[in-house]
Structure 1
Amino acid sequence: MKHLSILFVLLSAFLSAQKLQVVDSETGKPIANARIILSDQLVYTNEDGFAPVDNTYKDFEISATGFKKEKIKNFSSVIKLQPVFKDIEEVKIVSVDIKKLFEDVSKNYHKRYYDEPSLYDVVMKHKYFDNNKLHFMAITEVKLWSRKNWYDYKDGYNKRYDDILQMQLNNVKYLKKNNSDSIFFAKTAEFSHEELGNYFFNYELNRNIQNIKFHKTKYSGTLISEEGDEQSISFKIKTERGTNVEGNIKYNKADKVITFFQANYIMDDLPVEKKVSTDGREFDYKYGQATLTYDFYKKDGVYVPALTRFESDNYTMFYKDETHVKKSMREIIYNTFTKSDKKGLDPKVDFNKSIWLNVPVKDDKESTVLLSKEEQEFINVK
């Protein structure tokens, strides 16, 4: 028994050394989605504030929305980040013309973001909830190739998706689905123009520009804080059609680049629609909220993607006497970046079927997947 106790202590010490936690210095609460730039890769903290960083790493950078960026000299199992400011009344509020800012970034997109063929090691995560209960989760390591790092509308409309983006499915770390928890999970097999577009920031940027240009649209931008060349800006867009957008960005005024973008689409006021599921069932569909997030970092003098995330919440489906409130998340973390060629990947994912139905190509690289408590509990349930 004594030997078992010693083994448990040693094992616990080893496991704790394989991760660090990022917390709020004032409240002690975990900070989710904190970005950590290491010497050889990039990772993010999970919902519990943990990231797969072991004690061999030194001299790395941690940043999170609403907190001051920190340069870490030596490894620590707990990293505390300071909030950007304590009292909003102390900050001078300055208006920002977001229409002009968005249009300038869009017009000069090719100059300010890397636009040549590139290859990434990414972790892709999909989660679906029904009535607040997780019923599907898939986490896989993928090689992702992009010809231009931006969405080409001409290729997209003509469904030449492989000329824009290619994936190679590698290690499927977790894949679990509880069919009984969700009725309306069926979808068409065809990969859509918009679905691919959401992978790219220029697609989302142009969507907001078009929203601003709609008749009678009201919009505003506000400078919230400024640290060096980095500005934090919040914005609001209200269209006559009933779509409201509230978001925030980080803008590097020296490079004239949006380094972080998050937009929350509030669509509760849109009318209920009649829909038919792929298996022929008629139901009522009510829109909720959708949040799109894009994060970039500067590597070797160019701006490349760090993260993209698409979240939906409170989408409600009414079928006979049943009510299903839906929530989902698709996240891509770009662990590594390499300049590539125009050849693409072989083999590659067939977008005409679910990514999970493609045959994986095994890759022996070290995994960066770290489950949250909620995800681990879902996997553990028989």
Structure 2
Amino acid sequence: MIQIKKYYCLFFLLTFIKGYNQSKQITIVNEVTKMPIENVNVYYPSIDEGTFTNSDGKAAFLIKNVDLKIAHLNYKEITMSSEQFRGRDTIFLKPNVVELKEVVINSFNLVKALQDVLDKYTEIYVDYPFEKECSFKETVLVSNKLKRLVLTKINWWGRSYFHKNNDIKLRLGAIEYSKNAPMDIFTDSSEENTPSKSGFVETKSITNIIYLNSFLSSFLAFTDGYTTSIQESATNQIIVAYETEWKIVKDVSSRCVGKVIFDKESKAIVEFINEIEFKNKIVYKTTSKGKKEYSYETKKSVTKHNFYKNNDNKWSLKSFSSIVDTSIDYNKKSTSVIFENDIYVLKEIKIKKVSNDGLIDLTKPLYQNLPSGTISSSNSILLSEEEKDFIMKD
């Protein structure tokens, strides 16, 4: 009888462990349109750990016996117990109820609101040494077709809330997918058409703007002549759209358009989308061997910062995107090329020091830091069907 009890207890323990570590996949859709919702944060608030939905509205995560939160700025948050979400494959989110139709309000001072955030930064945002476990995704689209897809874990450590070259470290983690195909633009020049010659966004340029206060300082210093409007907002938000006047520097014209979402209670920025439009930002070059002339033109550059409130009641970066829209002219043909880099924060902890093992060279693109092979790992961010097809294609 004692042996039976021991066996039963062991069986129960193994079943519990298996259930605790079981992977769950869900699809999140708009309750009204029934369309999938991308970039929904699916996480466990009590342990500050989670993931995000892909462009198909799908997310996979490990089941844990704590409450799960499903959050997106444009939708009503849902909190579910482990018993509630275990048996559900599809979850519907209600769009936020808006309280104000779009009107132009000349009295809203965006510059002052942004400066107030900077002045109170340490009060409302994370200001202690941290390490964020992240999923880094890099894609390149040529004529709207995938040519590069890198999905890897990185650990991002910072000594303080403000960016300095000597207090940021990115360490490479498990590589989930890495495929870099020829861009097929320089079709008559094999040297230029190799994947290693593909264009990229320098990792260092991303780290320079990922810190919100560094970004805000630059934004306020180099932009002026704002036109603002208050958009339809949820009861706990103020959504401000803006655009600046065109400026000409060395024959290149540029202006900023975008949107800032403020939390009404804390006055914090919870989302900042900034798009820089360019005219005549063209660089002329020649191919390595054939010395044939070509040019690439930057059309626009977009950044997106998204924040959430952590267990210390501080706002902390949850996701970041950088998109550069360009065109390459070669052999009398213009080709659209879009570079995108996304960082999703999966977990965050307080930590004063980390080792230097596996540090990423910030002067290189991320894909050039990767080994030639792919390290097998469970997904942190699911691939979309289009991305799966690209990875599987010879």
Q: Structure 2-normalised TM-score?
A: 0.78
Residues 238 and 68 of structure 1: is their aligned pair in 2 closer, same or farther, counting only changes over 3 Å? farther
Partner of 2:283: 274
Letter in 2 for 1:274: V
The reply on whether 1:308 has 2:320 as its aligned counterpart is yes
What secondary structure does 1:52 align onto? strand
The aligned counterpart of 2:8 is none
CA positional deviation for 1:274: 3.4
- 1:58 deviation in Å? 5.5
User: What are the within-5 Å matches in structure 2 for residues 97-136 of structure 1?
Assistant: 97-136=109-148
Corresponding residue for 2:181? Answer: 178
Counterpart of 1:236 (choices 218, 239, 243) is 243
Q: What's the counterpart of residue 269 of structure 2?
A: 258
Paired position in structure 2 for 1:6: none
**8 Å CA contact 1:310, 1:331 repeated in 2:** yes
Aligned equivalents of 2:221, 2:296: Cα separation in 1:
25
2:91 equivalent in structure 1: 79
Which residue in the other structure is 2:168 paired with? 165
CA distance in 2, matches of 1:275, 1:164: 36
CA contact (8 A) 1:94 1:223 kept: no
Percentage identity across paired residues of the two chains: 19
1:21 aligns with 2:27: yes
CA RMSD for the aligned pairs? Answer: 3.1
Q: Using the alignment, how far apart are the partners of 1:281 and 1:142 within structure 2?
A: 39
Residue equivalent to 1:11: none
What is the match of residue 15 of structure 2? none
Structure 2 counterpart of 1:146: 158
* Whole-Å separation in 2 of the counterparts to 1:36 and 1:298: 14
2:3 paired residue number: none
- After superposition, residues 1-382 of structure 1 pair within 5 angstroms as 18-39=24-45, 40=47, 41-53=49-61, 56=64, 59-73=67-81, 74-75=84-85, 76-85=88-97, 89=101, 96-152=108-164, 161=165, 163-183=166-186, 186=197, 194-213=205-224, 217-228=225-236, 230-241=237-248, 242-267=253-278, 270-276=279-285, 279=288, 282-301=293-312, 302-313=314-325, 315-358=326-369, 367-382=379-394
Please tell me whether the aligned partners of residues 307 and 334 of structure 1 are also in contact (alpha carbons under 8 angstroms).
yes
Cα deviations across residues 150-208 of structure 1 (Å, max 9, x unaligned)? 323xxxxxxxx3x1321111111111111253547747999576443122222332232
Q: TM-score normalised to the size of structure 1?
A: 0.80
Residue aligned with 1:368, SS: coil
Conservation of the 8 A alpha-carbon contact between 2:104 and 2:228: no
Is the partner of 1:288 in helix, strand or coil? Answer: strand
Between the aligned partners of 2:215 and 2:63, the Cα distance in structure 1 is: 38
Q: Separation in 1 of the partners of 2:354 and 2:64?
A: 36
Counterpart Cα distance in 1 of 2:337 and 2:205: 20
How big is each residue's C-alpha offset from its partner over 1:67-117, in whole Å with a ceiling of 9 and x where there is no partner?
Answer: 22333342132111122247975x777553211111111233233211222
Distance 1:166 1:277 in 2: 35
Matches of 1:140 and 1:20, distance apart in 2:
22
For 1:61 and 1:48, the matched residues in 2 are separated by 19
Q: Secondary structure at the match of 2:54?
A: coil
Give 3-state SS (helix, strand or coil) of 1:208's partner: helix
Q: 1:353 to 1:179 in 2, by over 3 A?
A: same
Cα distance in structure 1, aligned partners of 2:158 and 2:287: 31
Q: Which aligned segments of 4 or more residues in structure 1 are displaced greater than 4 angstroms?
A: 54-58, 86-89, 91-95, 182-185, 187-193, 362-367
CA contact (8 A) 1:31 1:47 kept: yes
Tell which structure's C-alpha radius of gyration is larger.
Answer: 2
Separation (CA, whole Å) in 2 of partners of 1:249 and 1:306: 16
Does structure 1 retain, via aligned residues, the 8 Å contact 2:200–2:339?
A: no
CA distance in 2, matches of 1:52, 1:246: 34
In 1, are the aligned partners of 2:282 and 2:295 still within 8 Å (CA)?
yes
Inter-partner Cα distance in structure 1 for 2:152 and 2:286:
28
Paired AA for residue 81 in structure 1: L
Whether the 8 Å CA contact 1:212–1:219 is kept in 2: the answer is no
Counterpart CA distance in 1 for 2:363 and 2:298 is: 26
Number of residue pairs the alignment of both structures matches: 349
Q: Contact between 1:189 and 1:352, CA under 8 Å: does it hold in 2?
A: no
Cα separation, partners in 2 of 1:254 and 1:169, compared to 1, 3 Å: same
SS at match of 1:48: coil
